[in-house]
Amino acid sequence: MRKQKNSSKFEIEIHVMNAHLQPTGSAYFIAKETERPEIHTLSVLVDNEPGVLARVIGLFSGRGYNIESLTVSETEHEKHLSRITIVTRGTPHVLEQIKHQLERIVPVHRVVDLTVRSHELGQERPLERELALVKVAGTGEGRVEALRLADAFRASVIDANTEHFIFEITGKGSKIDQFIAIMKPLGLVEICRTGVAAMNRGPQGM
């Protein structure tokens, strides 16, 4: 009788444990299971002072968030403010967490998710541009073909001699990716890219 009583108690404990392991019906758990990673562009206005960029990057690396592109430059000289543009990937829940955590860093004045803002304005994406310098070495027919394709992509020749070209190209990241891909068989030597600069359309600022 004692053995049967202990067995029943064990079965009850297993049932309770299984009940705790079942997913709840809350919207939070449903969202986490169904959300898919998205690529978003964030614009961060910060004080231009030593260590700010390191703190922003540290927030991403410390929590395992990936930065796909990052650009930074002082944009308001009198106020000593810099604008950091970050392209990152994550679920909407994670991206919202990133935004709130950035806002808690003291030198940060404002954080705007440009991707979310563009959707609010009825637009597909914010305006995004990137600049790249692409060095291509070659002679003969390959050299002529590189020049022809560069003209089709509206890339400018900013340096050249009888052995190489350095092209400057500006546009969306996908355009630059395509230009680099077609230059590979023609003698691609070196690439330098700035990363994405972005802002929303319309008369409003960030």
Q: Kindly tell me the sign of the dihedral angle through the C-alpha atoms of 12, 17, 21, 27.
A: positive
The reported pTM is: 0.75
Condensed to tens digits (0 to 9), the pLDDT of residues 34-69 reads 678 889 999 999 999 999 999 999 999 888 888 999
CATH superfamily assigned to domain 127-199: ACT-like. Chain A, domain 2 (3.30.70.1150)
Domain map (residue ranges) of the chain: 38-121, 127-199
- String of b and e for 38-60 (b: at least 16 CB within 10 Å)? eebbbbbbbebeeebbeebeebb
Collapsing DSSP to helix, strand or coil, 172 comes out as coil
Going by pLDDT thresholds of 50, 70 and 90, the confidence category of residue 180 is very high
**Mean local confidence (pLDDT), 85-111:** 91
Say if CB 85 and CB 70 are below 8 A apart: yes
As a whole number, the mean pLDDT across the chain is 85
Beta carbons within 10 angstroms of residue 122's beta carbon:
8
Domains 38-121 and 127-199 share a fold: yes
- Identify the architecture of domain 38-121 in CATH: 2-Layer Sandwich (3.30)
Condensed to tens digits (0 to 9), the pLDDT of residues 117-144 reads 999 988 889 999 999 999 999 888 989 9
